[in-house]
Amino acid sequence: MSENQWQQLDKSDPDTASTDTSAGAAAKTQANDVSRDVENSKEWRLVSTLVRDMQQEQVRSRRWGILFKSLTFVFLFSLLFGAWYGVDESTVSQKEHIALVEVYGPIMSGAPASSDQIVASLVAAFEEDAAKAVILDINSPGGSPVQSGIVYDELNRLQSKYPNKPVYAVISDVGASGAYYIAAAADYIYADKASMVGSIGVIGSGFGFTELMQKVGVERRSYTAGNNKDFLDPFQVEKPSQKADFERLLGEVHEQFVDVVKAGRGDRLKDSVEVFSGAVWNGEKAVAMGLIDGLGSIYTVAREQIGIAELELYRPQQTPLQELMDEMGAQASVRLQAWLQTPSLR
């Protein structure tokens, strides 16, 4: 047969073409059926769910990673720029006023009542010509004798430099221990009749766990170079010589406290050893003992003793983060007090 005849035979054989097309369609249909069976199977649905959950988890992880990185940046930024103890002078009125400096909470390094914070506020208050007097608004149980001593010394220095600017210390709820140490530098001290005043003493405390360790079978092993390097170690029996040294140290700090109070209060102080016993008195009793000059609040002292009703708060500038943390701390304190049902006047 010629080539043209073969070509015509191929074109004219519909059965062969139909058979080939049908086989392809059948194979495709079978493949689709298998695919649907796989997709509908439990194993496939499980794999799909796992893959989808993994993708969602990766998205959440990326979001949390971005959040934590952002918080870390904010924290580092606040550490870098947050340690600022200057006073924002733009908020201070240029009218005649009384500078109000707060001494709130425990007196310790890094706290709102640290020497850095208080001294910075005092310096700004004394340097401001419009501030005709300074009131120390005190509500503190005390704290570090070192921090209190720094404030006391700086307050004395500023008073010598600005002798025409009187200083009043006004105690609200409590002005004890280190807080009274600071108040002793003021020209006059006032408090409410129910305020707690005094606590002119020094305390050092700790724990001893030796008997507990014996009961549970724990042995303390301490190696030192220097006889007193393990000074008052709570995990070993107390040494009489170290106890005596510590009591001597407390006595010396107490004498420093007594000297400060005597220097500040002078002849107004009642001549009695009871004054320096570490006891606390209410405002009325504190007047009788010469610890304070009278009863009053920051408002009555401003109006009646100084004669200026305008009060301006002097406090170090705070970053937004510090203000937020202070606000959160105040709210937490209120909630804790309510939960504990702390007794209070209502």
Query: What is the predicted pLDDT for the residue at 305?
Result: 96
Architecture of the CATH domain 89-202+246-333: Alpha-Beta Complex (3.90)
Query: What pLDDT score does 322 carry?
Result: 52
264-318: pLDDT as tens digits: 999 999 888 889 999 999 999 999 999 999 999 999 999 999 999 999 999 876 5
**What are the start-end ranges of the E strands in 185-245?**
188-191, 196-198
pLDDT at site 216: 85
222: confidence class by pLDDT, cuts 50, 70, 90:
confident
Question: Which residues lie across from 30 on neighbouring strands?
Answer: none
Question: Which of 108-147 are b and which e, b meaning 16 or more Cβ less than 10 Å from the residue's Cβ?
Answer: beebbbbbbbbbbbbbbbbebeebbbbbbbbbbbbbbbeb
DSSP category for residue 89? G
Directed axis angle between helix 240-265 and helix 145-161, to 10°?
A: 20
Of 329 and 230, the structure prediction assigns the larger pLDDT to 230
pLDDT of residue 80: 47
Strands 294-295 and 196-198: what pairing? unpaired
Residue 88: pLDDT over 80? no
Per DSSP, the residues of 258-308 read HHHHHHHHGGGS---GGGGSS-EEEHHHHHHTTSSSEE--HHHIIIIII--
Question: Is residue 78 scored above 90 in pLDDT?
Answer: no
- Please state, in angstroms and rounded to a whole number, the distance separating the CA atoms of residues 166 and 178: 21
| In the predicted structure, residue 118 carries a pLDDT above the cut 90 | yes
Upper half-sphere CA count for residue 86 (Cβ side, 13 Å): 6
The answer to whether 260 and 270 have CB atoms below 8 angstroms apart is no
pLDDT of residue 32: 58
- Both structure tokens of 335: 């909630």
Rounded to the nearest integer, the mean pLDDT of the chain is 79
- The partner residues of 191 in beta bridges, in order of sequence, read 171, 295
pLDDT tens-place string over residues 20-75: 455 555 555 665 555 555 556 666 677 677 777 777 777 777 776 776 666 665 45
Confidence of residue 326 (pLDDT cuts 50, 70, 90): low
What pLDDT does 60 receive? 73
Q: Does this model's pTM top 0.75?
A: no
Cα 233 to chain centroid distance, Å, stands at 29
The 8-class DSSP code of residue 167 comes to E
How sure is the predictor about 90, in pLDDT bands with cuts at 50, 70 and 90?
very low
235: confidence class by pLDDT, cuts 50, 70, 90: confident
User: What is the model's pLDDT at position 41?
Assistant: 65
- pLDDT tens for residues 176-220? 999 999 999 999 999 999 999 999 989 888 888 888 888 888 888
Please tell me the distance from the alpha carbon of residue 122 to that of residue 92, in angstroms, as a whole number: 14
Q: Are 177 and 143 in contact (CB under 8 A)?
A: yes
Predicted local distance difference test score (pLDDT) of residue 85: 45
pLDDT band per the 50, 70, 90 thresholds, residue 330: very low
Name residue, tokens 């009642």: 270
